Amino acid sequence: MAENSIIAWTNNTFNPWMGCVKVSAGCKHCYAETLTKNRMGLDLWGPGSKRQVTSTSYWRQPFTWAKEARKAGERRRVFCGSLCDIFEDHPTADETMPKVWEIIKATPELDWQLLTKRPENIAARLPKEWPLPNVWLGTSIEDKKACARRDILVRIPAVVHFLSLEPLLEDIAGTLNLEDIEWALIGGESGSGFRAMDHQWARNLKTSCEKSGTAFFFKQSSAFRTEMGVELDGQIVRNYPTPQFNILQTR
C-alpha cells in the first residue's frame, strides 16, 4: 500500500479496507489476493471472508496529498480500492464507505478514481451531494460478457467515466460501446501464469477510442512483470481525459 503508486495511471493509491470476492474471469489471477495472502498473511478473500479496515494513520495520507497538490498548484489522482472493490456489497464496506465520502469531499484538490467490477451497486452507495466534481467512476471489463458493465456505469452522472480493460482476455472492440466514456485503460495480464493478450485487440480498441473521442491509455502487454512491454507498436500511448471541472480554479 505504497504512498506513491506503482500503477501507471494514478499518482497514489488508497485502500480504506482490504479484501474481496472474485466475480468474473478477470479475477482469476487477482494480484490483490496474492499480495494480502502471501505477503501480509491475511485471509480476506472469498465468500464469507472478513474485510480489514486500514489504520487511522493511513487514513490521514489523502490530506497530505491534497496539501502537496494545493502547494504545487496541480491536481493529483488517487485510485481508491486497489486491494478491494470499493462498491462491494459487504457489511464492512457499507459501514466504512460514508467515511470515504467525507475524505473525498474534504480533499477537492484530488481526483478520486473509483473502480469497480460491481457497477450495479454504485447508485445505492452514492452520497446525497452527488455528483461530486472530483470523483471519476470506472468499471473493469475483461471480455465480451463483461461489456454490459459499461451500460450500467454511464447511467450514473460523473465528471469522468472510465473503463479498465485489464486483463484484456479477448477482442472486445466490436462489442464494447465507448459512447460517453472519457477514458479507456488497456492492459494485458501480468504475473505467474498470465494469460496472453494479442496486441491487435489493443490496436482495435485504440481505433475505437479515436472514433469516439475517448482518451486511450496503454498500460502494459501481457508479461510476467508489470513493467515489461509498456509500448504499443513502438510507442508509449498514455493519454488522459480532460474533466469538465477544475476545482483549483473554481474555489
Q: What is the pTM of this model?
A: 0.93
- What integer pLDDT is reported at residue 1 of this predicted model? 40
- What integer pLDDT is reported at residue 251 of this predicted model? 34
- What integer pLDDT is reported at residue 3 of this predicted model? 55
Listed as ranges, residues in the chain with pLDDT below 70 are 1-4, 244-251
Q: Is 178 left (phi over 0), alpha (psi -120 to 50) or beta?
A: alpha
Model confidence pLDDT, tens digit, residues 19-55: 999 999 999 999 899 899 998 999 999 999 999 999 9
Can you give the chain as a three-state secondary structure string? CCCCCCCCCCCEEECCEEEECCCCHHHCCCHHHHHHHHHCCCCCECCCCCCEECCHHHHCHHHHHHHHHHHHCCCEEEEECCCECCCCCCHHHHHHHHHHHHHHHHCCCEEEEEEECCHHHCHHHCCCCCCCCCEEEEEECCCHHHHHHHHHHCCCCCCEEEEEECCCCCCCCCCCCCCCCCEEEEECCECCCCCCCCHHHHHHHHHHHHHHCCEEEEEECCECCCCCCCCECCECCECCCCCCCCHHHHC
Q: Mean pLDDT score of the chain, rounded to an integer? A: 93
- What integer pLDDT is reported at residue 242 of this predicted model? 83
- Find out if CATH 3.20.20 is the number for domain 12-250: yes
- What ranges do the domains of the chain cover? 12-250
- What integer pLDDT is reported at residue 71 of this predicted model? 97
